Amino acid sequence: MKSYLGPLNRDNPILTQTLGVCSALAVTAQLKPAVVMALSVTVVCAISNLIISLIRNTIPPRVRIIVQLLVVSTLVIMVDQVLQATFYDVSKMLSVFVGLIITNCIIMGRLEGFALSHTPGASLVDGLMNGLGYGLVLVVVAIFRELLGSGTLWNHQLIPSSFYEAGYLNNGLMILPPMALILVGGLVWIQQGTRKSSEK
C-alpha cells in the first residue's frame, strides 16, 4: 500500500525524478488550466498504463516503444477532443501543452518501468498515483502563482480591493515562468529537507 502512495511524496515524479518539469512551468500561471492539465495527465497515465499492462505479453519487445506511443497518442487526442468540446477556453489556454502530453516523460517512464512488468490492476493504480503526484505539484505551484501574481484564485478575486488601495501590488514575477521554476525548486527543497530529517 505504501509504495502506491509513494508518487505523492517520496517518489514524486516532478520533485524527486524531475520529470515533466517543462509543462509544470508552462501551465501553472493560473489554477484552472493547471487543474485541467493535471486531470488530463492523470487520465492518460492511468488508462495507458492499464492498456499496456493488459497487452504486455503480446507486445514484441523490439517495437514496444512504438506500441506505447500509439496508445498514448490515441488517448491524448481523445482527451484533447473532449477538452475542446467541453472547456473550450481552457483548451485554448493550454494550447500545445495538451498535445505535448504524448512526450511527457512521466507517462513513458511508467509504461516502461511499471506497466510492462506488472498486472493490470497494479498498473492502473500506479498510473493514477503518478498522475496525481504530478497534479499535486502543479496545483500547489499554481495556487501560489495565481494568488500572488494576479490576486485571484480560479478567476475569483481573492485579495480585497482595500489591499490595493493601501498600496499592495500584484507580483509580476509570479506570472513569468522563472518564478515557477523557483517555486518548484523551493518545493524540492522542502521535500528533501523533511525527508532527510525523517530518515534520521
Partner 1 sequence: MGLSQFSDKIRKNFEKGKPLHCFSSLFDAVDTFLLTPKTVTTTGSHIRDAVDLKRIMITVMIALCPALLFGLWDTGYQHYLALGQACSIWTCFSYGFLKWLPLVIVTYVSGLAVEVGFAQWRGKQVEEGFFVTGFLIPMIMPPDIPLWIVSVATIFSVVFAKEVFGGTGYNFLNPALMTRAFVFFAYPSVISGNSVWVSGSPEAITGATPLAQLMNGGEQTASFLNMFIGTIPGCIGETSKIAILIGAALLLFTQVASWRIMLSVIAGGFLTGSLFYGIGLCPINGWQHLLMGGFLFGAVFMATDPVTATHTQSGKYIYGLLIGILAIIIRVINKGYPEGMMLAILLMNIFAPLIDYCVIQIKIKKRKKNILLHKTQVFNNINKPK
- List contacts with partner 1 (CB under 8 A): 167, 169, 171-174, 176, 182, 185, 189
> What are the phi and psi torsion angles at 150 (to 5°)?
-120, -10
Closer to partner 1 by Cβ: residue 81 or 194: 194
Quote the cell numbers at residue 91: 483548451
- Nearest-approach distance from CB 170 to partner 1, in angstroms: 8
Nearest to 113 by CA among 177, 19, 36, 30: 19
Q: Where are the alpha helices (DSSP H) in the chain?
A: 2-5, 21-26, 31-54, 64-86, 88-94, 96-99, 105-113, 120-150, 161-165, 177-199
- Nearest-approach distance from CB 180 to partner 1, in angstroms: 13
Closer to partner 1 by Cβ: residue 51 or 187: 187
Closer to partner 1 by Cβ: residue 88 or 168: 168
- Nearest-approach distance from CB 176 to partner 1, in angstroms: 7
Closer to partner 1 by Cβ: residue 122 or 175: 175
- Nearest-approach distance from CB 167 to partner 1, in angstroms: 6
From CA 181, how far away is CA 185, in angstroms rounded?
6
